[in-house]
Amino acid sequence: MAIEFRNKPGLVIYLTAGDPDLATTREIALAAIDNGADVIELGVPFSDPLADGPVIQRASERAVARGVRLVDVLALLSEIRTARPQAGLVVFSYLNPVVRMGMENFCAAAAAAGADGVLLTDMIVEEAAEYLAAMRRHGLAPVFLAAPTSPEARLKAIAANSAGFVYAISRVGITGTQQQVAGDAGELVARLRKVTELPIAVGFGISNAEHVQAVGKFADAAVVGSALVSLIEQTPPAEAAAAVGRFVAGLAAGKGA
C-alpha cells in the first residue's frame, strides 16, 4: 500500500464517513475511485469540527447523530481497501477521537484496516512526537497541513515529518468552496518545493475542473471536499454514488483541458 498520484494533477477526494450512512459512503468512495480519484480521505465525524465550513460541519453533525464512531470509519476503510486494493486511503480526523481510542491502539487499528496514512487536522508538528513514533511503528504515513502563514522553520519541520504527501492549504480559514484558487497557494507550494521532494496536494476551496487544472500547473494534486459533500447533501442517497462518480469523472477529464 502506498499513496501515489498516477496522473498529474492527482485527485484527493474528501468524504465525511457515515453521511448519509456508512453503506452509501462505501459506494460513493468506490465510485470516486473508479472515476479517477487517486486518494480517498475518509473524514471521521466529530461534534466540534472547528476547521470546517458549514457544509462539512452539517455532514459531520448528521453522521454523529447516526452514531458513527472512529471504529466504524476504520471498518469502512477496511471494506474499501478490500474492494479497491490500489486506492490511496487516508484517515482524516480531529485529534480528540484518536486520543479517546488511544494513540497506539488507533495506529494499530488503522494499519490493520489498510490505511496508507493519517491526517489529524489539529495535530501540530511541534507536539507530534508520540504520534509520529506510533505512526512509524505501524508503517503509516503522517500527512501534515501547511498554511500560507507558516514560517520557514515550520515548513521545514512539516516536510521532515510528513510522508505520502504534504497538504498545502490554499488559504487561511475554514474549508469551503470558492470562486478561484487563492494566489497564496502557488507561493506556498513554491516554498514547500525548497524543503521537500514529497508530492504536494492543494486543498481548501477546490471545487471544479477549472480549479483542478489551475492547481495542476504548480502542484501535484488537488483536494476536493466541500463541493462533493455538498453534492451528497443535495442528492437522494440511492443516487449519490452515481452523482459523485459523474462529478469526479468531470474533474478528472478537466485535468487535461
What number of CA atoms fall less than 13 Å from residue 122's CA on the CB side? 14
H and E: helices and strands count for the chain: 11, 9
Catalytic: 41?
yes
Tell the burial category of 191 from Cβ atoms under 10 Å away from its Cβ (0-12, 13-18, 19+).
middle
DSSP 98-142: HHHH-HHHHHHHHHHHT--EEEETT--GGG-HHHHHHHHHTTPEE
38, 41, 116, 220: the catalytic one is: 41
38, 52, 116, 220: the catalytic one is: 52
Q: What is the C-alpha separation between 7 and 193, in angstroms, rounded?
A: 19
Active site residues: 41, 52
